[in-house]
Amino acid sequence: MKKTSIAIIGGGAAGFFAALNCAILAKEKNKQVSITIYEQAKNVLQKVRISGGGRCNVTHACWTPKELVKFYPRGSKELLGPFHTFCCGDTVAWFGERGVELKIEGDGRMFPKSDSSQTIIDCLLKTTNDFGIKVLTKHKLTHLSQSDNGKWIIELNKEKKLEFDKVMIASGSSKVMWDKLSTLGLEIVRPVPSLFTFNIKNSLLNQLMGLSLQDVHIKILGTKLNSNGPLLITHWGLSGPAVLKLSAWGARKLNELQYDFQIQINFTGASKHEEVKKQLLAIRNNQKVMNIAQFNIPKRLWKYLVTEADIPPERTWNEFGKKQAGSLATIITQSTYNVKGKSTFKEEFVTAGGIDLKEIDFKKFESKKFPGLFFAGEVLNIDAITGGFNFQAAWTGGYIVGRNMVDY
Ligand SMILES: Cc1cc2nc3c(=O)[nH]c(=O)nc-3n(C[C@H](O)[C@H](O)[C@H](O)COP(=O)(O)OP(=O)(O)OC[C@H]3O[C@@H](n4cnc5c(N)ncnc54)[C@H](O)[C@@H]3O)c2cc1C
């Protein structure tokens, strides 16, 4: 029986998942495949190791493709079909069948019960070993071409040349690889960072570092970008889901603005200026405005907001007039800050950009121009907000590539 030779470039989540699911299907269908993963680094699955602060946020408790695609600023339309084939529940089952149980946290993120990314790595490596998949580290793809007979020739470390029936590129966010693929004739969308936090120099705000709020509304002035969610004040500016979501949805726009823009925050989440003013004016007692926080705003932040609104520290609620209520309501619902620069979110960061999605047949995650050449993971112009969605895209793409590299 003819053996299909398969090379997978990149030993990350997408590459491993493709290799494994290819081997699993080949076994089911009694087909012969020879699969090799080539990884340029000394170790494979490096990003899985550091992911989710060392705990690996494997996926998200989101069970329907229609809901799941909403978390992808780039790729939502293209992923709808693939998620019908392999969704978050399939990821949970896949790892569960191999002895790795996942747990759901309050915000829907899913982690291995062990709270260690090593559990995921061990599972992937053991299954790779069980199926006899070769894994070669310190093997960098240095050239890729297609011969006249349709086979793929890969050059490794500028030395060895090998021929394969099928090649999958799962090189993650690699500029060198994107340049190579562009030379081959594929369109590449210019990569820019996504999932970052905002740098704000404001000594009073920066003193509130460590403080978090459950639900704020942030908008980026001069754009349509806005988001709701938890906010974290850091010593360099702002972080937390509300900020990270904006950084993902606005990845391109904010890059265009060179990370120099103004944001407006409503610390109540949804209350309008007039409602807030009315509620403030309704409070009547002899206590100091400074000391009695409203709208579930933490005390430290409340003091800062009252100071910013120029309310004298001794002012009581009985002495609180319309003008002051107006300025405090403005500070509470429309505080503006200048963002200058961004910082890396250490738990998870990704690149927006990569292979243009128009190049890909998403039934197979295969190149439309070059049959036999497959892609999945961050090499594609697909990325998500934080929460396990980026790995889910890698698992889904890897699964579909794997199943489509077997001829049966
Ligand atoms: C700090 C951090 C934490 C994260 N945490 C999470 C999380 O908890 N949950 C989540 O969903 N997402 C998380 N992400 C994002 C997630 O890690 C990526 O989306 C995911 O790893 C993409 O998988 P991939 O296989 O496409 O690429 P990668 O994991 O980057 O793998 C690509 C591999 O290809 C190799 N390679 C590149 N070029 C070549 C070449 N020429 N020859 C051979 N090999 C090559 C690279 O060395 C690399 O090992 C995190 C990212 C970071 C940076």
Summarised one tens digit per residue, pLDDT across range 189-243 is 999 999 999 999 988 888 899 999 999 999 999 999 999 999 999 999 999 999 9
Q: Same domain for 61 and 168?
A: yes
- Number of structural domains (the chain) is 2
390 lines ligand 1 (CB under 6 A): yes
Is pTM beyond 0.85 here?
A: yes
* The last residue of a domain, from among 344, 365, 392: 344
C-alpha atoms less than 13 angstroms from C-alpha of 404 in its C-beta half-sphere: 23
- Tokens 């396990």 found at: 388
For residue 38, the cross-strand partners are 9, 136
Domain carrying residue 355: 4-192+348-404
Residue 341, judged by CB atoms within 10 A of its CB (0-12, 13-18, 19+), counts as middle
pLDDT of residue 345: 87
Q: Give per-residue pLDDT as tens, 256-276.
A: 999 999 999 999 999 999 999
* Residues 366, 280 share a domain: no
| Ligand 1 mean position, distance from CA 12 (Å) | 5
Atom 21 (ligand 1) nearest CA: 47
Residues 372 and 293 placed together within one structural domain of the fold: no
The answer to whether residue 98 scores a pLDDT higher than 80 is yes
- CATH code of 41's domain: 3.50.50.60
Q: Which of 50, 171, 345, when mutated, tests ligand 1's pocket best, judged by the most ligand atoms within 8 Å of its CB?
A: 171
> How far, in Å, is the centroid of ligand 1 from the Cα of 172?
5
pLDDT value of residue 311: 96
Q: Which two tokens stand for residue 162?
A: 């090998």
Clarify whether residues 253 and 314 are in a common domain: yes
For a ligand 1 pocket test, name from 20, 45, 51, 177 the mutation site with the most ligand atoms within 8 angstroms of its C-beta.
51
Does residue 398's CB lie within 6 angstroms of at least one atom of ligand 1?
no
Go through 347-368 and write b for each residue having 16 or more CB atoms within 10 A of its CB, e for each that does not: bbbbbbbbbebebbebebbbbe
Question: Are the CB atoms for 166 and 5 separated by under 8 Å?
Answer: yes
Q: Final residue of a domain: which of 313, 329, 344?
A: 344
